[in-house]
Structure 1
């Protein structure tokens, strides 16, 4: 579409206004080689986050404050409003590494649907977490602050399942990796800094964690992916080993 831009940066927010300034500074105070917009999807915050937002060029920012039922509903709202060919999700306080994003070729001719890199975890200064195989993804998720989703991916594969209040992006990424028709690319760049301290750091998605093995088995069986079957065997053996160690320990 002619009105599309390169990148939509979606930031769900709830009472984290004081952190927004750092995130927006990381975007607006650097020279970009890509066109972008910032969509702040706020959950009726009581700390007046707009006082921080209005310090930046409002022509490139959409600030939407309304009641939502969690971070993934906010992310889904952002996707529907986004005008970017590509979408990345940041949390308030996270930083986009513009100099790294400038190096990424968002080339539509490559037919890529998901591009991911690394994120720097600010709490321990560690880089997370390199290239992912399907087996590695079964063990742990890619940081959503390191993923660029092509907008069409959501049109073709639906939105985040809000039933999973903390792990909906994990379920989504597993489905993408299991779909062999979806082209995924890893870039060895730190594309963001992750502040931490959000919902995923302090709460557990019981629905996902308690059924993770069953959910992954169902996803693989549904996908009919040969690579998925091979990875699933290895994952089940890994899970069994962890279970035995837990029982013995």
Structure 2
């Protein structure tokens, strides 16, 4: 059986990390590798991770150059055939998820993807991503479907290491680029028919929105060309305005 490495990136996340760890260790199938990469947290994050050290295969705590540097470290440490990032504050939604994912993997499988819930700081569900955003999940996902941005939540995207590149470390939209690169190389792409993850809102791209938008343009330009990137961003803008008007000023 091809194995999964689940990777958690964390930094000063003592409020959120434990629920992430517990959602992973509660899985009915524990036949996976679990890796935590901590950026030398200054709060109680590392102590929380160390509580579960017997069930964590690799625990690293050292300074890094940011989120995607840490994710690259985690991916390079992974011994499994697949990598699945479940960062601090995020959760696997269902205790049977790993078991169900293994049932969908064959020799040709390179990507598995599904839906996710948005959750707030307390872990309360705010909505299903495919319902409260314009991102509808296609039954047959291709890299061209990513022309309007992050179609699949990163926490609900599992990729084989044979197609997964390292992250574009300096780009705040590196997760979009990573998913596109995986999909371009993937042989078998599988839609999971259950909600895969709970995603904690308010990540780095939301906190540095202006730079994130510029970086997203760079990613789309890389894959779709200048005209394609400009056209995509015009559509994203129109769609976002329409959705906010419809929802009374709130994007999701």
Q: TM-score range by the shorter chain?
A: 0.7 to 0.9
In the alignment, is residue 145 of structure 1 matched against residue 143 of structure 2? Answer: no
Quickly say closer, same or farther: Cα 1:242–1:75, change in 2 above 3 A: closer
Alignment of 1:107 onto 2:105: yes
* Alignment gaps of 5+ in structure 2: 131-136, 241-252
Report the counterpart of residue 193 of structure 1 in structure 2: 198
Distance verdict in 2 for CA 1:205–1:115, change over 3 Å: farther
The whole-number CA distance in structure 2 between the counterparts of 1:25 and 1:245 is 37
Change (3 A) 1:98 1:151: farther
1:225 is matched with which residue?
Answer: none
- Residue 16 of structure 1 deviates from its aligned partner by 0.3
TM superposition shift of 1:175: 2.8
- The secondary structure found in structure 2 opposite 1:69 is coil
Q: Is the 8 A contact 1:11 1:92 kept in 2?
A: yes
Q: Which residue of 81, 86, 91 corresponds with 2:82?
A: 86
CA contact (8 A) 2:115 2:195 kept: yes
Q: Distance in 2 between matches of 1:245 and 1:19?
A: 32
| Structure 1: gaps (5+ residues) | 222-228
TM-score by length of 2: 0.76
* Residue 56 in structure 1 maps to residue 35 in structure 2: no
User: Could you tell me whether the CA contact under 8 Å between 1:138 and 1:174 is conserved in 2?
Assistant: no
Tell me the CA shift for residue 147 of structure 1: 0.8
Residue 143 of structure 1 deviates from its aligned partner by 1.2
Q: TM-score, normalised by structure 1?
A: 0.77
| Counterpart in the other structure of 1:126 | 127
Structure 1 runs (4+) deviating above 4 angstroms are 132-136, 211-215, 235-246
Partner of 1:175: 181
